[in-house]
């Protein structure tokens, strides 16, 4: 039947058109228990989309005014329904030969790192800013995706010590990491393992369902209208 053949040709066409949209839906904004979050399907983590105080220090004892104390406050209030928030990791990745990195002074010292990290466990900050959001290493961070509280003009503390009493920070103004003294000021970006279980369907999924629904409508013969062969 002609209509059946047309539908058979339409189904793979719709799926092919919508597949790229679904493939790029790696970061999804979610609200749960009053907490704004971003579910990350690439790193299999959830980010807390909340602004931290500025000027936070880094302290292994969660001293007052430290980024660890801020993380502890999120866990105390069960932000988003969770109490296992931590700081993201960083490792000072440097990609040799990167024009954007070479034009800055970061690569001239082992104290700095600039590049696109391939380790999803050792450098969550770099993977988020460069690999997932699509910013360029060595440039200022301008793409924030579904985040509403992601600063483009601050230094985010990582959980990863560098050496000599310093810890890796990600500088969003210049798009690279550097080993900052723990008394330096910075902000926090909280993350937890695993994606939010109540992730809503992204726009691409709704488009896919809509396309499949349209195909279902086309598959039905109009009342009283015979199917032609």
Q: What range defines the domain where residue 213 resides?
A: 1-25+209-229
pLDDT value, residue 105: 55
pTM for the structure as a whole: 0.75
- Same domain, yes or no, for 75 and 128? yes
- Interatomic CA distance for residues 208 and 204, integer angstroms: 6
- Same domain, yes or no, for 5 and 40? no
Contact between residue 42 and residue 28 where contact means Cβ atoms under 8 Å apart: no
- Same domain, yes or no, for 213 and 112? no
- Same domain, yes or no, for 17 and 85? no
- Same domain, yes or no, for 152 and 220? no
Give residue-wise pLDDT tens across range 110-120: 788 888 898 99
Summarize the confidence of residues 133-162 as an average pLDDT. Answer: 95
| Domain count across the chain | 2
Residues 180-190 as b/e (b if ≥16 CB within 10 A, e otherwise) read bebebbbbbbb
Show Cβ contacts of residue 128 under 8 Å, excluding neighbours closer than 6 positions. 40, 43, 47, 88
Give residue-wise pLDDT tens across range 13-32: 444 444 444 334 599 999 99
């Amino acid at each position: 039947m002609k209509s059946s053949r047309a539908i058979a040709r339409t189904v793979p066409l719709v799926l092919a058109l919508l597949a790229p949209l679904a493939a790029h839906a790696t970061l999804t904004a979610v609200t749960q228990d009053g907490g704004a979050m971003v579910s990350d399907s690439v790193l299999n983590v959830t980010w807390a989309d909340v602004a931290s105080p500025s000027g936070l220090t880094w302290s292994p004892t969660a001293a007052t005014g430290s980024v660890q104390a801020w993380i502890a406050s999120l866990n105390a209030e069960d932000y988003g329904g969770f109490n296992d928030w931590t700081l993201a990791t960083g490792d000072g990745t440097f990609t040799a030969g990167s024009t954007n990195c070479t034009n800055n002074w970061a690569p001239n010292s082992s104290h700095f790192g600039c590049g696109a990290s391939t380790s999803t466990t050792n450098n969550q900050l770099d993977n988020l800013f460069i690999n997932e959001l699509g910013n360029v290493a060595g440039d200022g961070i301008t793409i924030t995706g579904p985040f509403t509280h992601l600063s483009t003009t601050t230094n985010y503390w990582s959980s990863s010590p560098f050496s000599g009493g310093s810890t890796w920070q990600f500088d969003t103004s210049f798009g690279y990491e550097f080993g900052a003294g723990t008394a330096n000021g910075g902000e926090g970006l909280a993350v937890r393992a695993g994606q939010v279980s109540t992730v809503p369907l992204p726009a691409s999924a709704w488009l896919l369902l809509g396309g499949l629904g349209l195909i279902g409508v086309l598959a039905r013969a109009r009342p009283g209208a015979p199917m032609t062969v």
